[in-house]
């Protein structure tokens, strides 16, 4: 009799949606450009960028010439970037679905969050997996600060390691701290200027696309953001994202 206790997962025919989040300037757009440059020959890729008021990141990626321009689309979030990737993902989801429909079949859609604070993560309603990006220039101790992205993103990238000697950061120590904060989860030390590290990034992306396609990959929610402060004309407010009740505002 066939074993029906653990049915084989159903293969997926839609693209892998991969989010890229992290603080301002850590190299999210550059990492996306690097993936496109290295993998556009083997994967059909599309990109959605998020900026508050502009389409600057999309323009940067188009000018990098790493993908046909029409496969790079911008979402203007008009609010804090994490709102559009976590609280109400509708605009992003529609943009992803339009891109997938217009260029079917795509293998990979990369969604870049606007730069935000250390605690911003994507909702699993928008992406299947996410990369959280730190850089050595932000300081060697950042990985120890934890938070949902650092602790539980599918991959933590410690970026711009070519700059480590100039900012006096011990990359090995930073990686070790990150592995500890992630309880052994994957950490990649990356520089777009060091091809061996770019290769490792490609191996990770390739593995994830394959496991998504075969139906083995199960999207994980890194968890809600920590409470944080938003400045506004009245002085500001604390903003909390709870597990069930998505958003609370306290003035």
Q: Annotated binding site for GTP: which residue ranges?
A: 22-29
Q: Given the rule CB under 6 A, which of 86-94, 138-146, 177-185, 188-196 is the region that contacts ligand GTP?
A: 188-196
Asked if 167 is part of the footprint of ligand GTP (rule: CB under 6 A), the reply reads no
* Structure tokens given for 81: 């970037």
Report the residue number, 33 or 151, with the smaller CB distance to ligand GTP: 33
Nearest 10 degrees: CA dihedral of 138, 141, 144, 148?
-10
What is the closest distance, in whole angstroms, from the C-beta atom of residue 20 to ligand GTP in the complex?
8
Round to whole Å and give the CA distance between 38 and 45: 11
Among 35, 36, 83, 115, binds ligand GTP (CB under 6 A): 115
Among 25, 124, 186, 219, binds ligand GTP (CB under 6 A): 25
Round to whole Å and give the CA distance between 128 and 14: 11
Report the residue number, 163 or 213, with the smaller CB distance to ligand GTP: 163
Instruction: Say what angle helices 28-39 and 56-64 make with each other, to 10 degrees.
Output: 30
Round to whole Å and give the CA distance between 140 and 174: 6
Q: How many CA atoms lie within 13 A of 154 on its CB side?
A: 25
Among 26, 92, 121, 123, binds ligand GTP (CB under 6 A): 26
Query: In sequence order, which residues have a C-beta less than 8 Å from that of residue 119 and are 6 or more positions away?
Result: 82, 147, 148, 149, 225, 226, 228
Q: How far is CA 3 from the centre of its chain?
A: 38
Number of residues that bind ligand GTP (CB under 6 A): 16
What is the closest distance, in whole angstroms, from the C-beta atom of residue 24 to ligand GTP in the complex?
4
Residues 43-82 vs ligand GTP: string with x where CB under 6 A?
A: --------------x-------------------------
Q: Which residues contact ligand GTP (rule: CB under 6 A)?
A: 24-30, 57, 115, 159-160, 162-163, 191-193
């Amino acid at each position: 009799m066939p074993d029906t206790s653990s049915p084989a997962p159903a293969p997926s025919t839609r693209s892998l949606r991969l989010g890229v989040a992290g603080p301002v300037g850590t190299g999210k757009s550059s990492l996306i450009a690097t993936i496109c440059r290295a993998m556009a020959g083997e994967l059909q890729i599309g990109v959605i960028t998020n900026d508050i008021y502009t389409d600057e990141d999309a323009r940067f990626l188009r000018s990098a010439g790493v993908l046909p321009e029409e496969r790079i689309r911008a979402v203007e979030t008009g609010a804090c970037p994490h709102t559009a990737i976590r609280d109400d993902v509708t605009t992003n989801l529609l943009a992803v679905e339009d891109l997938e429909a217009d260029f079917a079949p795509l293998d990979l859609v990369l969604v870049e969050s606007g730069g935000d604070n250390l605690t911003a993560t994507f909702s699993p309603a928008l992406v299947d997996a996410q990369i959280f990006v730190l850089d050595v220039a932000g300081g060697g101790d950042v990985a120890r600060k934890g938070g949902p992205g650092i602790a539980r993103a599918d991959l933590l990238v410690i970026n711009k390691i070519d700059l480590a000697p100039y900012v006096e950061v011990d990359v090995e120590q930073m990686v070790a701290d990150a592995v500890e904060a992630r309880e052994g989860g994957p950490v990649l030390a990356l520089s777009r200027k060091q091809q061996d590290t770019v290769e490792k990034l490609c191996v990770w992306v390739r593995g994830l696309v394959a496991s998504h396609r075969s139906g083995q990959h199960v999207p994980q929610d890194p968890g809600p953001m920590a409470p944080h402060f938003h400045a506004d004309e009245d002085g500001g407010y604390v903003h909390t994202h709870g597990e069930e009740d998505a958003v609370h505002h306290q003035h």
